[in-house]
């Protein structure tokens, strides 16, 4: 099966990275909208336009299912896209319920982009699953910019996290929900500034389990094509993408 996965940038590689490990038999197209990253600082209407263009691109390239590997794009556009297109479209959902199920006796801190944090989809989710008022939200938009520069564990990153999280009594929390796929690259930096009792939770595996519902047994050969805003990635830029995937290999076992 040919599967399209896309994100505003390289954050969705964390979803592709896991897909290649648990479903290596399929063929993938990965699309990073590098021309328009970061989505989290755009208007909702702009993001809807970007997503519509990318989904049409994916359909034109023969995909049979699409994963929006971007919480911001999912929040802004997934409902509209599902109404417009018949192809299966799987979105991301911050793993708030999972965090509550695992660590629901303690507070839960959800970090995401401004669009996701302020969006109706997020607040509906929290209202639905947070019966004890344990969930707090924080926007960390600068992490997306750090990720796109391959700056993951610098003092600037750690100082940014310390400053943005300083208003929370972190001793009261046992889980941090990574509500943006870009944030998966920063587990070591988060770990450096968070108390040890706080565990990371993300929605990548849940999204891929949902994807499996649409996969049949007639798989195509594995492989990935990468696109930046419609331009096929070749040459040295593929080495940059591989560096991101290599870092995700190092991040995967940090808890």
Catalytic center residues: 70, 180
> b/e per residue, 226-247, with b = 16+ CB within 10 A?
bbbeeeebeeeeeeebeebeeb
Partners of 136 in beta bridges: 109
- How far, in Å, CA of 95 to CA of 98, rounded? 5
- How far, in Å, CA of 65 to CA of 100, rounded? 30
Residue 108 has which token pair? 């839960």
The answer to whether 23 and 208 are in contact (CB under 8 A) is: yes
Q: How far is CA 167 from the centre of its chain?
A: 25
Could you give the residue ranges of the DSSP H alpha helices within the chain? Answer: 13-22, 44-60, 71-84, 96-103, 114-118, 120-129, 142-148, 155-165, 187-193, 204-212, 236-251
In terms of Cβ atoms closer than 10 Å to its own Cβ (0-12, 13-18, 19+), residue 101 is exposed
Q: Which residue has the tokens 């699953």?
A: 129
- How far, in Å, CA of 81 to CA of 83, rounded? 5
Spatial CB neighbours of 114, under 8 Å, sequence gap ≥ 6:
40, 41, 139, 141
Spatial CB neighbours of 183, under 8 Å, sequence gap ≥ 6:
11, 111, 112, 140, 143, 147, 202
């Amino acid at each position: 099966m040919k599967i399209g996965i896309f994100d505003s940038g390289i954050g969705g590689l964390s979803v592709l990275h896991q897909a290649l490990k648990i479903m290596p038999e399929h063929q993938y197209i990965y699309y990073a909208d590098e021309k328009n990253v970061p989505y989290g600082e755009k208007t909702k209407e702009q993001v809807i336009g970007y997503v519509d263009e990318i989904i049409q691109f994916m359909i034109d390239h023969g995909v049979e299912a699409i994963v929006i590997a971007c919480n911001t794009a999912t929040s802004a556009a997934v409902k509209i896209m599902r109404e417009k297109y018949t192809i299966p479209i799987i979105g991301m959902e911050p793993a708030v319920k999972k965090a509550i199920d695992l660590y629901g006796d303690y507070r839960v801190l959800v970090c995401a982009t401004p669009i996701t944090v302020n969006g109706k989809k997020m607040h509906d989710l929290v209202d639905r699953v947070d019966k004890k008022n344990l969930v707090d939200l924080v926007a960390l938009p600068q992490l997306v910019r750090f990720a796109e520069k391959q700056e993951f564990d610098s003092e600037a990153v750690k100082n940014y996290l310390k400053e943005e999280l300083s208003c929370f009594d972190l001793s009261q929390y046992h889980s941090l929900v990574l509500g943006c796929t870009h944030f998966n690259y920063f587990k070591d930096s988060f770990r450096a500034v968070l108390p040890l009792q706080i565990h990371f939770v993300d929605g990548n595996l849940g999204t891929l389990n949902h994807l499996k519902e649409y996969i049949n047994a007639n798989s195509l050969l594995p492989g990935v094509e990468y696109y930046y805003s419609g331009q096929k990635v070749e040459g040295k830029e593929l080495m940059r993408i591989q560096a991101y995937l290599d870092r995700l290999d190092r991040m995967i076992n940090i808890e």
